[in-house]
Amino acid sequence: MDSQYVPTGIPGVDKALADQGIPRGHTILIAGGPGSGKTTFATQFLYKGATEYGEPAVYITLDEDPEDMKKNMSKFGWDLDQLEREKKLIFINVSPVRVGPTEKAGLVQLGMKEFKLIKLLEAIRTGIEQVQAKRVVIDPITIFTLQYPDETERIYAMRDLIADFRKTGCTNLLISELKGTGLEREHQFEEYLAQGVILLRTIIKGEKLVRMFQVAKMRGLAVDTQPRPYEITDDGIQVYPTLTVFQ
């Protein structure tokens, strides 16, 4: 039977998550700036799940071509094509753009401004069924929320998405783009709706910029909420859960 927590398999992260992982079935926001390694974090989560924990996965891209993404991730030594062939991973592109007939299977084709919640949910369900997925990533959720200029509708749409996710039993990551760079900032509404929030930011420490990992919120788990340094190494994300980032 499934355990109550889902290990991420990312070095240092599970230690910060009370030596457990993400509470099973929760939807977690991975929020960071450009170049912070959000996609690397999410891919590593799925790759480790598929190869080490026997949990198949769905990666839903809203912004990047899956072939490009797989190529970019190959530098970490993760053979995503092989996982796809073994039906342990499926990439689904639900970009809301007009695309030509040469695009690969698994594509949901949508015109501009027609990209609605129902289509995204269909793609999620189809993907989960095809590989019996236990883990799902949506990258980035920003493209989805852009469809709803009205604030109330946007919040409801995100709530519905998370509620639907809850029913699938999968553990999910939503990639979210931080608006600004400072330590002091406005919260983004998704942070209140998701069951957990992991921030990937940078601060100046002495003569250097330092990458800073923080579990800002994790419902149902007593986590370490201190910011911790992390790096993007040749093997992917590496968090240092016992080091501090403030002088």
Residue in the structure block whose two tokens are 């989960």 = 128
| Residues in a beta bridge with 171 | 135
128 near 38, Cβ under 8 Å? no
Q: Which of these, 78, 18, 62, 88, lies nearest to 174 by C-alpha position?
A: 62
Which string of x and - marks every residue 197-216 that binds a copy of itself (by CB under 8 A)? x----x-x-xxxx-----xx
When asked if residue 118 is in the footprint of a copy of itself (CB under 8 A), the reply is no
Q: b or e along 51-86 (b: 16 or more beta carbons within 10 Å of the residue's beta carbon)? A: beeebbbbbbbbbbebeebbeebeebebebeebbee
Chain residues 149-178 in contact with a copy of itself, contact rule CB under 8 A:
149, 151-153, 155-156, 159-160, 163, 166, 177-178
When asked if residue 104 is in the footprint of a copy of itself (CB under 8 A), the reply is no
How many residues line the site for a copy of itself (CB under 8 A)? 70
Chain residues 82-101 in contact with a copy of itself, contact rule CB under 8 A:
95-97
When asked if residue 140 is in the footprint of a copy of itself (CB under 8 A), the reply is yes
Considering the complex, state which of residue 86 and residue 114 has its C-beta at the smaller distance from a copy of itself.
Answer: 114
* Amino acid, res. 175: I
236 near 74, Cβ under 8 Å? no
- Among 138, 173, 218, 237, interactor with a copy of itself by CB under 8 A: 218
Residue 51 beta carbon to a copy of itself: minimum distance, rounded to whole angstroms: 21
Tokens of 180: 């600004």
Rounded CA separation 247/220 (Å): 31
Residue 9 beta carbon to a copy of itself: minimum distance, rounded to whole angstroms: 20
Residue in the structure block whose two tokens are 């919260």 = 187
- Among 65, 120, 129, 241, interactor with a copy of itself by CB under 8 A: 65
DSSP per-residue codes, 194-245: SSEEEEEEEEEETTEEEEEEEEEEETTS----S-EEEEEETTEEEE-TT--S
Chain residues 14-33 in contact with a copy of itself, contact rule CB under 8 A:
23, 33
* Amino acid, res. 81: D
Residues that bind a copy of itself (CB under 8 A): 23, 33-35, 39, 63, 65, 68, 71-72, 75, 95-97, 112-113, 140, 142-143, 146-147, 149, 151-153, 155-156, 159-160, 163, 166, 177-187, 191-193, 195, 197, 202, 204, 206-209, 215-222, 225-227, 232-234, 244, 246-247
